[in-house]
Chains A and B, each alone.
Chain A
Amino acid sequence: MAEFELDCLGEACPIPLVKTEKKMQELDVGDTLIVMIDHSCALKNVPEWARKNNYDVEVEEVGESEWEIFIDKTA
């Protein structure tokens, strides 16, 4: 039930998604990953990828053009 942060600020699409995919493999079930992004493209494909994998996803805009994506590794 640990929480991890993945800093993808300044990374253009599709790097945040690739990093997220790799990081999620390391996580245990029940862990949460917080992906920090500022490339609006990742705002679309990261949550989409996570939902497709049946993870719980929440997105929050934390600043101007800066978002945090919360992904719960549910399975």
Chain B
Amino acid sequence: MAEEAVKKIVDETEATPSSRRSSSRSSRRSTARKPKKDQTLQGLILLVLVIAFGIYLATISATIGIFWLTGIAFGFILRRTNFCFTASMRDPIMTGSTSLTRAVLIALAITSIGFVAVQYGASIKGLPVPGMGFVVPISFATVAGAFLFGIGMVLAGGCASGTLMRIGEGFGMQMLSIVFFVIGSFWAARDMGWWTLNFISNGPRLHLPEIFGWTGAITVQLVFIAVLYILADRWENRNQEL
């Protein structure tokens, strides 16, 4: 027993780098690992609970039920694809990679089509166009706020969705992030009235379909996204040549 242990240590320390590399690589891969837990059962139980809770929520309010399901789906997609809004804005500058930037642009393009479909559908039926409450004035506050948010999310290692997803993953540091995210949001909500009154409400309120018409709006939006996509693609390849 002891002899075996000593032999193991000697083997590990005396092995030449090349043999160590090949042996340690294979050995590292098979041994000295926490055996991976099979969580299929837990996963299935969780899935049942998620559905059950969703049905329960739907009895209270259909909207809350839908929020529950889209939230779960969103988290799952973020986790499995490593999709990250922070990285989409940060990586082009830090690493020259724009794969996530392009993913966000594609997501925006798809969402734009969906939004136009919903809003156009409502408008031809003579119904009030949904989502108009979110058409807010653009001002310098938007730019300044975006800039501050960008600094914050890179330091915190994630935006809101990314932080939440990584808490679910068990990443301790971001539990701290979310605490200060909440504190910051409360503070912002407290001062929002003043900002709205003095800065934000002075800005123009733009809703593209009112300016270009429905077809024009979606065309302008998609062309703009396409241009950004091409630029992002160029940026990635430009860095590759360096």
Residues of A within 8 A of B (CB): 1-3, 10, 12-14, 17, 32, 34, 38-41, 43-45, 48-49, 52, 60-65, 68, 70
**With A and B bound together, what is the CA distance between A31 and B28 in angstroms?**
16
Q: Indicate if the CB atoms of B157 and A40 lie closer than 8 Å.
A: no
Indicate whether B190 reaches chain A with its CB closer than 8 angstroms.
no
Q: Which of B21, B34, B86, B157 contacts A63 (CB 8 A)?
A: B34
**With A and B bound together, what is the CA distance between A4 and B82 in angstroms?**
26
Q: Indicate if the CB atoms of B169 and A41 lie closer than 8 Å.
A: no
Known A-B contacts A1-B17, A1-B18, A44-B87; A12 and B25 likewise in contact (beta carbons under 8 Å): no
Collect the chain A residues with CB atoms within 8 Å of residue B82's CB: 40-41, 43-44
Collect the chain B residues with CB atoms within 8 Å of residue A13's CB: 84, 86-87, 157-158
We find that the number of chain B residues with CB closer than 8 angstroms to chain A is 39
Q: Which of B20, B90, B154, B166 contacts A40 (CB 8 A)?
A: B166
**With A and B bound together, what is the CA distance between A65 and B95 in angstroms?**
23
User: Which residue of chain B lies nearest to A18 when distances are taken between CB atoms in the complex?
Assistant: B94
Known A-B contacts A40-B169, A44-B82; A12 and B157 likewise in contact (beta carbons under 8 Å): yes
Between A and B, 5 residue pairs with Cβ closer than 8 Å are A12-B158, A13-B157, A39-B171, A41-B157, A63-B36
Indicate whether B101 reaches chain A with its CB closer than 8 angstroms.
no
Q: Indicate if the CB atoms of A62 and B33 lie closer than 8 Å.
A: yes
8 A Cβ contacts from B8-29 to A: 17-18, 20-21, 24-25, 28-29
Q: Indicate if the CB atoms of B17 and A3 lie closer than 8 Å.
A: yes
Q: Indicate if the CB atoms of A10 and B94 lie closer than 8 Å.
A: no
Indicate whether B99 reaches chain A with its CB closer than 8 angstroms.
yes
List 8 additional contacts besides A17-B94, A68-B28; criterion CB under 8 Å: A12-B156, A40-B79, A41-B162, A44-B82, A45-B91, A63-B36, A64-B37, A64-B170
**With A and B bound together, what is the CA distance between A34 and B28 in angstroms?**
11
Q: Indicate if the CB atoms of B36 and A45 lie closer than 8 Å.
A: no
- What's the minimum C-beta distance from B126 to chain A, rounded to whole angstroms? 46
Indicate whether B133 reaches chain A with its CB closer than 8 angstroms.
no
**With A and B bound together, what is the CA distance between A32 and B239 in angstroms?**
25
- Of A10, A34, A40, A41, most B-chain CB atoms within 10 Å: A41
**With A and B bound together, what is the CA distance between A60 and B96 in angstroms?**
24
Known A-B contacts A13-B87, A41-B87, A49-B97; A2 and B171 likewise in contact (beta carbons under 8 Å): no
Collect the chain B residues with CB atoms within 8 Å of residue A43's CB: 82
Q: Which of A1, A14, A39 contacts B21 (CB 8 A)?
A: A1
Collect the chain B residues with CB atoms within 8 Å of residue A45's CB: 87, 91, 95, 97
Could you mark each residue 201-223 of chain B with 1 if its beta carbon is under 8 Å from any beta carbon of chain A, else 0? 00000000000000000000000
Collect the chain B residues with CB atoms within 8 Å of residue A38's CB: 170-171
